[in-house]
A and B are shown apart, each in its own frame.
Chain A
C-alpha cells in the first residue's frame, strides 16, 4: 500500500513552555508524520521556539482555537494531506496514543476518530461544573450521531481527507469542539471514539475558565440548535 501523506496539526497560543516538548515528543513517536504548528497570535516566544523545529503558520492576531484549527485544515487540504491529527500545544495529548486513533481511522474506515478520556474509566480529573456540561453535550451529540459519544470536548482527533476538506470550509469558531462533532455527524461523517489517556495540563490554564463556562454552555447550545437548520458547504 502506498504511504499516505499524514500531518499533525498543533494549535498553540502562548505555549512557549510546552511547545518544544510537544514537538520533540511527537518526533520520538511518529517520524512518518509531517508537523505544522499554528501559532494563534501568541504574545510570547511560541513562534520563535517552534520555528526552530517545524514549519509554523503564524496568524497575525488571535483567532481562537476554532480559527486556528481551520487554518490547519486549509493548509492540510492545500498540501494534499490524506490524514490530519490534532494534537494540542499544551502537552495534554500523548503522542504515544496516536496509533490508536490512526488504526481506527484507517483500518475501520472512519472519517473522524476522537480520543476519549471517559470511554474507559481512567484517572483524568474533571471539575464538577465541566463534567455537568459534558454530560449534556454528550447526550445531545450522541443523539445526533446516533451512537454513544463520551468526550465531545476532546481536541485529540484524527481526520481523513474527506473530513479535512469539509472542515477547511466549515470549522466552527469560539469553543468549536462540541459543535464540530455535531456538524460532522449531521453531514453523515462516520465518527468513532477510542479510549486514550491524557495528561493534566503542565503549565498555564485551560482555555475554559470558570467565568466563561456559562457563556460556553449557552453559545454551544445555541450553535447546536442553529446547526439543525443550517446548510453546510458540501464536501465531495
Chain B
C-alpha cells in the first residue's frame, strides 16, 4: 500500500520536473521564471523518495498528522510562486507604462521634426524658384 503510493508519487514528480525542463528547452519558459518551479518539483521528488523526512519534519514542527506537513509545504510553494508572479507583473506594468509614455513623446517629436523639415524644404524650393525667376 505504502509502496504503491510511493511509486506513483515518484513517477508524478519526475514527470512534472521533466515537463518543466521541456518547457525551458523549447524556450516556452524562461530560466529565470522556472527556478521556483524547479525548486518545488525537486522538493516533491525528495519527499517521494524519502518518506521518513516527512515524519521528521512533522516532529520538529510539532505536527501530529504528518501528511498535513506536505499540504502546508505545497501551499507555501504555491504562495511564493504566485507572489513572485505578482512582482513580475507589477514590474512589467511599470515598464509597459514607461514605454508607452516615451513612445508617445517620441512620436510627437518626430511629427514636429517632419513638419519642420517639410517647411524648410518648401522654403528652399520657393527661394530656388525665385532665383531662377530673377535670372
B134 at the interface (CB under 8 A from A): no
B104 at the interface (CB under 8 A from A): yes
Q: Which residue of B lies closest to A66 (CB)?
A: B97
Residue contact B107 to A71, C-beta cutoff 8 Å: no
A67 at the interface (CB under 8 A from B): yes
B112 at the interface (CB under 8 A from A): yes
Q: Which residue of A lies closest to B99 (CB)?
A: A60
Residue contact B112 to A57, C-beta cutoff 8 Å: no
Most buried by A among B97, B103, B104, B105: B104
Which residues does chain A contribute within 8 Å of B107, judged by CB atoms? 57-58
- A window 59-83: CB within 8 A of B: 59-61, 63, 67, 70-71, 74-75, 78
Q: Which residue of A lies closest to B111 (CB)?
A: A55
B108 at the interface (CB under 8 A from A): yes
Residue contact A57 to B97, C-beta cutoff 8 Å: no
Residue contact B108 to A57, C-beta cutoff 8 Å: yes
Residue contact B104 to A78, C-beta cutoff 8 Å: no
A9 at the interface (CB under 8 A from B): no
Main secondary structure of the interface of A (DSSP, over half): mixed
Which residues does chain B contribute within 8 Å of A112, judged by CB atoms? none
Residue contact B108 to A59, C-beta cutoff 8 Å: no
- B window 104-118: CB within 8 A of A: 104-105, 107-108, 112
Residue contact B100 to A57, C-beta cutoff 8 Å: no
B79 to chain A, nearest CB (A): 20
B101 at the interface (CB under 8 A from A): yes
Residue contact B105 to A60, C-beta cutoff 8 Å: no
Residue contact A55 to B105, C-beta cutoff 8 Å: no
Residue contact A74 to B108, C-beta cutoff 8 Å: no
How many Å lie between the Cα of A64 and that of B105 in the bound state? 16
How many Å lie between the Cα of A58 and that of B102 in the bound state? 11
From the candidates B104, B108, B112, name the one contacting A60 in the complex (CB within 8 A). Answer: B104
Chain A interfacial positions (CB closer than 8 Å to B): 38, 55-61, 63, 67, 70-71, 74-75, 78, 173
A-B residue pairs in contact (CB < 8 Å), sample of 6:
A38-B104, A57-B107, A61-B100, A67-B100, A70-B101, A71-B104
Q: Which 5 A-B pairs have the closest CB atoms?
A: A71-B101, A57-B108, A57-B104, A59-B104, A67-B97
Chain B interfacial positions (CB closer than 8 Å to A): 97, 100-105, 107-108, 112
